Amino acid sequence: MSVSIKVGKRSINITAQPLSQEAFAPFGDVISNPRPDIHPSAFAQHKLPSNASSANQGSAIRYGDVSRLGNHYAQAPSRTGEPKMSMFVCAARPLETLSDGFGRFTVKLLERHPFTTQTFTPLPSSASQYLVIVAPSLTPSAQDEGLPVPEGLGLPGRGLPDPSKLRAFVADKNQAVTYGAGTWHAPMVVLGKEGTAIDFVVFQHASGQGTEDWQRSTYTMAAEITTDVLNKLEDTSGIICKPGENPYAAFINACNNDRREIEALYTAHRTKRNVQQKDKFLSPDFKELFIDQTLLRLEKPEIQPGFKDERHCMALWSRPPSHIIRLATHIQRLLLETCPEMWLMSPWNMHMTTLEVAFSKTPTEIADLVASMRSSLPSIVNHTHNHRARLVKPMISYDLSAFALSFVPATGEPPLSPAPAAPDTAENIVQGDEYTYHHVRMDIFDKVQKAGVEVGSRYQVPSAHITLGRYITQAEHDTPEKRQAWVDRIDEINAWLEKEVWDEKDSDFIGEWMVGQERSIDARIGTIWYGGGRTLVVGEGF
């Protein structure tokens, strides 16, 4: 998740991270089960944190002092603050939809409670994630004289919020958070689909005396937070998936299991998006590209020395065969002729995300998922060995943050792929264009769910694509002429693909991809955002 903060003419870029006690410690406490893998009945068999004890006749584990609660109203003018417990039902906040499916949230104010801590505890609700946005204080100034501020709390300053040090964290439904007394924070920001919400039980102290209880920042602050918790690609298919439903099955059912309907929606999705993005590039109101701030810091470490990508993920990748990699790298070279400073995906890391199992997690959370799926992984990664779908008609899809080589499911086009490199010994093969790539995704989604893992995927739209690269500088697109040249180059390459590569047996390049040829599914974990991470297991190819 990248975070862009703009205050007046200043522009400060930071990177959000998963909420953890270590990272959040300067601002308060994070409350969560430190060992969710241990059942109370096994208390005596494990080494637990020092604050753990057996309780309720052995049927519970008690963790003491999980958060520091503070009542400092003895220093306030009123001299008294009563404990208060309330409930906040917080609706998912609307995000401005950006290119590539990212969303932007604008922080309009920061607030603090100078004499009390404030604990937000989520209850089971229709949304499951929220943003925690905090900032330390500046030293006092004439602007904030007269505000009651407690002494001796160890807070980083006693004045207005310092926007240059604002931090953002992603919390999930299993984490509660306590803001330390005097900590500047944004009102709760719930993430999720429209109409969803999180119910929070909130505990704090209050006197009912105005600024004793609540203070807001007294200057105009505009902070833009860009979050990747939305679908990575905007869905233009118009198909709505019910909560808990297999989204790929819902798509196939909406198409009446008709391969031509499925192919038509894949085609419409990428065609509509390209038209939309072309309009954005050529619009007189064009502002800027959406540069991935994490990637920028990884590529240019001098911006933030020591920076690391902390977003651990798990995904199931389809790896392209060698002839598709050859086509993709050729297109990369053609695009570089127009914009030579772009970041390109390396050939050995090219992939198509068939199913994203989890994203932006801690290493421990990913390890727990792997443990749950370990026995099921062989069946999952070998699915395409005998369930074979064809993708055809490659073209460049693009937006304001990235560009990719996209495909659509085959519907009777002539076969073009080279024969398998070794004798094919697979039995009970499911193939033919009635079984599409979307059927592959549907089946793998079911296999993961049956392994006891709740899929947290952002990739549920009718798109089959290999990321080719991303923009890491505004300079190559900072004039209308440069943007026109970029759009024209993409149009030229797409015209060449359609004329010289699609369905052409005698072409120098092959545009058909039999998913699973050479390598089947690659189960990948770690910091895999840009092709990194490591492989758990790869299925057998054909």
- Distances in Å between the Cα of 16 and the Cα atoms of 171, 172, 523, 525 are 11, 14, 26, 20
Q: Which tokens in the block code for residue 52?
A: 């753990």
Q: Quick: pLDDT tens for 504-540.
A: 988 999 999 999 999 899 999 999 989 999 999 999 9
Do residues 84 and 201 lie in contact, with contact meaning Cβ atoms separated by under 8 Å?
Answer: no
Report the pLDDT value the prediction gives residue 7, as an integer from 0 to 100: 47
Distance of CA 361 to the CA centre of its chain: 10
- In which residue ranges of the chain is pLDDT below 50? 1-11, 99-101, 218-222, 228-238, 243
The token duo for 65 is: 């002092």
pLDDT for the residue 88: 95
* pLDDT confidence of residue 462: 84
**Tell me: the pLDDT tens digits for 244-290?**
578 888 889 888 999 999 999 999 889 998 999 999 999 998 988 88
Query: CA nearest 454: which of 254, 191, 172?
Result: 172
State pTM to two decimals. 0.64
- In three-state secondary structure terms, 91 is strand
Supply the DSSP string of 433-470, one letter for each residue. Answer: TTS-HHHHHHHHHHHHHHTT-----S--SS-EEEEEEE
Cα 177 to Cα 32: distance, rounded to the nearest angstrom: 9
Query: What pLDDT, on the 0 to 100 scale, is given for residue 151?
Result: 64
Which domains are assigned to the chain? 2-32+68-227 (2.60.120.480), 247-300+313-410+431-540 (3.90.1140.10)
Q: Which pLDDT value is given to residue 145?
A: 55
Tell me how crowded residue 223 is: count the other CB atoms within 10 A of its CB. 24
DSSP code per residue over 366-431:
HHHHHHHHGGGHHHHHTHHHHB--EEEEEEEEE-SSEEEEEEEE-SSPPP-SPPPSS-----S-B-
**What's the rounded Cα separation, in Å, for the pair 399 and 292?**
13
Q: In what order do the strands lie in the sheet with 312-318?
A: 352-361, 312-318, 519-526, 534-540
Sheet containing 103-107: order of strands: 10-15, 2-7, 222-227, 103-107, 96-97
Q: Concatenated DSSP letters for 406-424?
A: EEEE-SSPPP-SPPPSS--
Starting at the edge strand that comes first in sequence, how are the strands of the sheet with 28-31 ordered? 28-31, 176-179, 118-122, 197-206, 82-91
Model pLDDT, residue 157: 56
Residue 339 is predicted with a pLDDT of 96
Positive or negative torsion for Cα 493, 494, 498, 499: negative
Which residue, 530, 500, 489, is CA-closest to 398? 489
| Confidence (pLDDT) at 414 | 93
How many other CB atoms sit within 10 Å of the CB of residue 278? 17
